[in-house]
Amino acid sequence: MADLTGYTAMTDVHGGASAAKMVSKYMEIVDSAVHGSTTVMQRIGDQVVMIADHCSDLLETAKKLNILTQEEHHFLSIHAGLHFGNILIENGNLFGSTINIAARIMNLANRGQILCSSSFIDRLPADSQHLFQSIGIHKLKNVMANIELFQLQSSPAGDVHIDPVCHMHIASSKQSPSANYLGVSYHFCSENCKSMFLETPDRFIAHS
């Protein structure tokens, strides 16, 4: 599972039309990121649910999706959760604990972060397992057994800034509004976001 980080904040700031446009673009990116046996099963707002016959195909899809979204100017990063297990497909809907656990893992991920369970990583080829680093044992909500989670060690995103108000990427090579607060320079997608920040900067720094 993967969705856009900061989508609610972006929608609040820029409105429903901008949100709809971003989701439409996001779904285009998702389709271009699909690898191998990966199939997009559900699209719910800014969230996508994908399944595959092989864990390695899902991993490649998640990696490409992460890269493509981070390369977009004035866009949002994803955060994703990967898990392995049986699922029941009925009338296009997915059921079972595998789906629930994947959702819990995704919700723990931060901006641009791809997390997976031990059961997922155990089914990857050896040359892919070394790409992950353990982040410890976690208790997931409404999941009986504790699960060890792993983080994909990916290359950092290009030279970009994150708008602290709407969370969108701003390429450092692009001209953008900026402001200095307490010795730190912040960059914004628009003058509107800059004005909102300057009115109550502590509100946005705490959640950026």
Please report, as a single letter, which amino acid is at residue 44.
Answer: I
Measured CA to CA, the distance from residue 48 to residue 3 in angstroms comes to: 6
Going along the chain from its start, the domains and CATH numbers come out as: 2-112 (3.30.70.1230), 160-205 (no CATH)
Tell me, what's the pLDDT at 174? 77
Q: Which residues make beta-bridge pairs with 147?
A: 138
Q: pTM for the full model?
A: 0.89
Query: For 64-120, what is each residue's pLDDT tens digit?
Result: 999 999 888 899 999 999 999 999 989 888 898 999 999 999 999 999 999 999 999
Task: Give the pairing type, strands 78-82 and 2-4.
Answer: antiparallel
HEC readout, 21-73: HHHHHHHHHHHHHCCCCCEEEEEECCEEEEECCCHHHHHHHHHHHHHHHHHCC
Angle at 108 between CA 107 and CA 114, to 5 degrees: 95
Mean pLDDT of 178-190: 92
Q: Which tens digit of pLDDT belongs to each residue from 19-78?
A: 999 999 999 999 999 999 999 999 999 999 999 999 999 999 999 999 999 888 899 999
Coil/strand/helix, residue 101: helix
